[in-house]
């Protein structure tokens, strides 16, 4: 069980009740997904302006909201393929805009080392998600690794709240890339096993 799975299981009742409340407000799962993304865009703007704590708070609220879109779908019309696709796409864009906000913040401070660390963090984050998606297309499930999306966001938001974003992106730069390597090795093992069975 991943940390994400643990959180979903631990807060299952709360998530379900909140999803029902959002449905009563007239929101669809896709509405929740888009609102969460819009919140991250606002957070990124705050971050780029140097309002790190405000950006961290808005990003945190947006990420909490993001936890409910799947539950809203399940409690209403049911999950759709487009909804899943939209959620996955905007999840990637959310990380992108938050890290872009940090790059703009670091550029204003002429902190080139932090800019490079943020770029490496973004690369690692994208690779973690890409390897899982590619695995899905090949018929294998890849959720392993020490730094999935939830861990990355928790570290990033925490570093914003304490006004130390460099340490957040440095941790992501290191551990996201380690996670990508872990997933690559896991995928190689599974795919080689499938190939051997087919020969």
Tokens representing 191?
Answer: 């795919």
| The model's pTM | 0.88
For domain 3-198, which CATH number applies: 3.40.50.10800, 1.20.1600.10, 1.20.120.1760, 3.30.1050.10?
A: 1.20.120.1760
Query: For residue 115, what pLDDT band results from cuts at 50, 70 and 90?
Result: very high
**Residue 2 has what pLDDT?**
67
Distance CA 110, CA 105 (A): 9
Contact 36, 66 (CB under 8 A): yes
Distance in angstroms (rounded) separating the CA atoms of residues 153 and 52: 14
Query: Which own/partner pairs from 100-107 qualify as long-range (CB within 8 Å, at least 24 positions apart)?
Result: 100/44, 100/48, 101/43, 101/44, 101/45, 101/46, 101/47, 101/48, 101/55, 102/47, 102/48, 102/165, 102/169, 104/47, 104/48, 105/47, 105/48, 105/49, 105/50, 105/52, 105/165, 106/166
Q: pLDDT-based confidence at 96, cuts 50/70/90?
A: very high
pLDDT confidence band for 198 (50 / 70 / 90): low
Residue pLDDT, tens place only, 65-82: 888 888 888 887 766 788
Per-residue confidence band for 196, with pLDDT thresholds at 50, 70 and 90? low
Per residue in 148-178, pLDDT (tens digit) is 888 999 999 999 999 999 999 999 999 999 9
């Amino acid at each position: 069980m991943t940390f994400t799975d643990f959180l979903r299981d631990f807060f299952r009742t709360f998530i379900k009740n909140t999803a029902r409340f959002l449905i009563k407000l007239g929101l669809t799962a896709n509405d929740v997904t888009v609102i969460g993304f819009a919140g991250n865009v606002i957070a990124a703007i705050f971050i780029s302006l140097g309002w790190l704590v405000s950006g961290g708070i808005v990003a945190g609220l947006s990420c909490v909201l993001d936890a409910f879109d799947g539950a809203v779908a399940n409690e209403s019309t049911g999950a759709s393929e487009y909804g899943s696709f939209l959620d996955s796409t905007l999840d990637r864009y959310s990380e992108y805009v938050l890290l872009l906000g940090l790059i703009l913040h670091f550029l204003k401070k002429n902190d080139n080392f932090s800019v490079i660390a943020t770029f490496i963090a973004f690369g690692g984050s994208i690779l973690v998600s890409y390897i899982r998606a590619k695995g899905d297309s090949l018929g294998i499930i890849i959720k392993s690794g020490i730094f999935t999306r939830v861990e990355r966001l928790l570290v990033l938001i925490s570093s914003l709240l304490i006004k130390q974003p460099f340490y957040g992106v440095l941790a992501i730069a290191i551990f996201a890339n380690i996670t990508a390597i872990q997933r690559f090795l896991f995928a190689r093992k599974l795919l080689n096993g499938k190939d051997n069975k087919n020969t």
